[in-house]
Structure 1
Amino acid sequence: MLVGLIFINPVKRIINFSSDKKEKAAIKIVSFNVKGGIMGKEEIGKYLKSQEADVILLQEGRGGDFPYLEEYKRVNFSGVGTILTQHKVLNTKELDFPEKSEIPPAVQADIEIKGKVYRFIDVYLHPFKFEREMVTLNGNSDANEQKMKDIVKRLIPTFKIHQKQIELIKNAVESSPYPVILAGDFNSVPNSYEYYHLSSGLEDAFLSAGKGSATSFHDYKFPIRIDYIFSSPSVKAVSYVVDRSVSFSDHYPVISEFSSGSK
């Protein structure tokens, strides 16, 4: 029983069966790493249009425009993160380093929806840049050993970059005068340093309202969750879905609905 209690929360971050929510949905969010649209911009645009979301947060959009989304206001600085909405945008900001030595990890927008203002932060943490063959082990022990060494070489510098990026994002969350919805591609698994620090003080929408598997990245043969939606405690997740019906990217779209938040 003790072992079960220790491991139940880590497991629930990947597989969860929450109860149906009684709160009424007021805000619909789509977060999607579109891989630059290289697998079909028209299909992606048509899909996003069909969702009728209040806010769309894209990662790896590379500054591109997608068909069918012309009526959406667009917040984009570096081309990595893009926020789209049909609602009133009050303020925008790129979360950048003073020395501008690395790609900015996030873009934020304060958006008014149905008379209330929310801060949306679209996150794309520095990627580890693993290719499928780099993480696939075979019967050759020497080759596998070299693969593991190469993986470690990539892990350490990327973790250092993530520490700096997390500090920027945490400051944006903690300084917000509005409820926050933080979403995107974190390039980190649910039991990571990145997850624990960025989710601190926020609620994981999958834990609150998700059912089944949270696996969102499907380029490898094993299940992995690296895409997330978090929110301030005052904004309750009503639903959470990883849409595996579409394959326009190496990520699946993540869709969540929220209540409007406490008064």
Structure 2
Amino acid sequence: MKLLRTILLITHIMVLFLLLGIFMNAYVPPKIFPWFNLLSLGFPVLMILYLFLSVFWVASWKKRAIVFILVGMIFLNPVKRWINYNSDPKENFDIKIVSLNVKAGSKGISHIEEYINSLDADIVLLQEYSRKEFQFEKLNNTKSDAINAIFTRYKIIDQKELIKSDFETNNAYASQTDIEIKGKTYRFINVYLQPFKFEKSMVRLNSSNEENEQKLKDVVKRLIPTFKKHQEQVKAVRKGIDSSPYPVILAGDLNSVPNSYEYYQLSEGLKDAFVEVGKGSATSFHDYKFPLRIDYIFASESIQPVSYKVDRSVGLSDHYPVIATFKIKN
């Protein structure tokens, strides 16, 4: 039993250091050391293991349980970026925003149109738009790329590309759209960072250890270069945020999980609407069994989140729609 506890203690310490390494994503870019960003993908598994071991020490009446529990408190905010609890909203909202990766309307354009119309949203941001002919009630389409589109019922002041797509080398896209709402201008940034382009067969493990090992190596070989592309793309999006004379709402498919380099860089100076008012799980990509939150809505301090919902009642693409409402501060 003593040997088992020693092994578990060493394991617990190792898990703790791996979790602490994830914090380095706020400071170390992927081009310098991409392995910290790789750790962010495993955060849910590492956190569950950390909690399980902490419970074991509590059940064993070991004083070290107190230490691990106190240290574990520093992971409260990182956990809230994945799973959170807030009470139901008690105030009215001024604007409703929907963000959805529609996967080129592969599951039916009419279904997407019907769903979006039922929401009565003010702003709709689509990713993997592919220039499909979507028609939404009360919403006008602005200038769009083959990747992204934004629809709004309000007046467009200006629009600019931040990342331009190139299907040979770059499938990412981002745009900024300045929109006048109730006499005040807001900047909406619609983001789709470089996808990893995984097929299910590439990540599905089988009975052969040798094949599984090769699959793992192939996955890592695809992840690392994409992380490095994200670094350049994040830099371009940050310019749109930092240069904005208006309050900013950033939404879209970041192809990155919470606590990643991308998350820390793009959320700087903005509020994560799910952390502020979300409830339950923020998982938004459902094509794999592993929990993945890669769709987000962030807002400037002057824009108060009222509600945030990942709508799992519909299967319009491999992403669930993200719906958030906000109150505009005077």
Same fold (TM over 0.5): yes
Is residue 94–residue 104 contact of structure 1 (8 Å, CA) maintained in 2?
Answer: no
Q: In the aligned structure 2, how far is the partner of 1:228 from the partner of 1:130? A: 21
Q: Which residue of 2 aligns with 1:93?
A: 160
Paired with 2:162 and 2:124, the residues of 1 have a C-alpha distance of: 18
Equivalence for 2:144:
77
**Correspondent of 2:256 among 188, 192, 204:** 188
Q: Shift of residue 78 of structure 1?
A: 2.2
2:178–2:186 CA contact under 8 A, matched in 1:
yes
Rounded Cα–Cα distance in structure 2 between residues aligned with 1:126 and 1:104: 5
Q: Which TM-score applies when normalising by structure 2? A: 0.76
Deviation at 1:103, TM superposition (A): 4.0
Match 2:194 to one of 126, 131, 136: 126
Letter in 2 for 1:259: K
Query: How much has 1:112 moved relative to structure 2?
Result: 0.9
CA contact (8 A) 2:125 2:151 kept: yes
> What is residue 241 of structure 1 aligned with on the other side?
309
Question: What are the residue-to-residue correspondences of 1:58-207 with 2, within 5 Å?
Answer: 58-67=126-135, 69=136, 71-96=138-163, 102-207=170-275
Contact 1:63–1:76, Cα closer than 8 Å, also in 2: no
* Larger RCO (CA under 8 A, 6+ residues apart): 1
Per the TM alignment, residue 229 of structure 1 is displaced from its structure 2 partner at its CA by: 0.4
Local SS of the residue matching 2:256: coil
Pick closer, same or farther for the CA change 1:108–1:190 going to 2, 3 Å.
Answer: same
| Distance change (3 Å), C-alpha of 1:99 and 1:129 | closer
Quick one: distance in 2 between partners of 1:251 and 1:99?
23
Deviation at 1:73, TM superposition (A): 1.8
Kept after mapping to 2: 8 A contact 1:61/1:80: yes
Q: Counterparts of 1:255 and 1:139 in 2: how far apart (Å)?
A: 40
Native 8 Å contact 2:131 2:146 kept in 1: yes
- Identical aligned residues as a percent: 58
Report how far residue 104 of structure 1 moved. 4.8
CA distance in 2, matches of 1:134, 1:6: 34
Hey, what's the Cα distance between the residues in 2 that align with 1:2 and 1:117? 44
CA distance in 2, matches of 1:129, 1:259: 37
* Partner SS, residue 139 of structure 1: coil
From the superposition, tell whether residues 243 and 98 of structure 1 become closer, same or farther in structure 2 (CA, over 3 Å). Answer: closer
- Aligned partners of 2:165 and 2:172 also within 8 Å: no
Structure 1 alignment gaps of length 5 or more: none
Q: CA RMSD in A?
A: 1.8
Amino acid at match of 1:108: Q
Q: Report the Cα offset of residue 202 of structure 1.
A: 0.5
The answer on whether the counterparts of 2:165 and 2:173 sit within 8 Å (CA) in structure 1 is no
TM-score (structure 1 length as normaliser): 0.94
For the 8 Å contact 2:175–2:191, the answer to whether it is kept is yes
Q: Is 2:93 aligned against 1:54?
A: no
Structure with larger Rg: 2
Distance 1:139 1:102 in 2: 35
Structure 1 residue 77 displacement after superposition: 3.4
Q: Is the 8 A contact 2:163 2:237 kept in 1?
A: no
Gaps of 5+ in 2: 1-68
* 8 Å Cα contact 1:44/1:248 also seen in 2: yes
Q: Cα–Cα, structure 1 residues 99 and 250, in superposed 2: closer, same or farther, change >3 Å?
A: closer
- Partners of 2:143 and 2:203 in 1: how far apart? 33
Higher helix share: 2
**Matched-pair contact (CA < 8 Å) for 2:147–2:165:** no
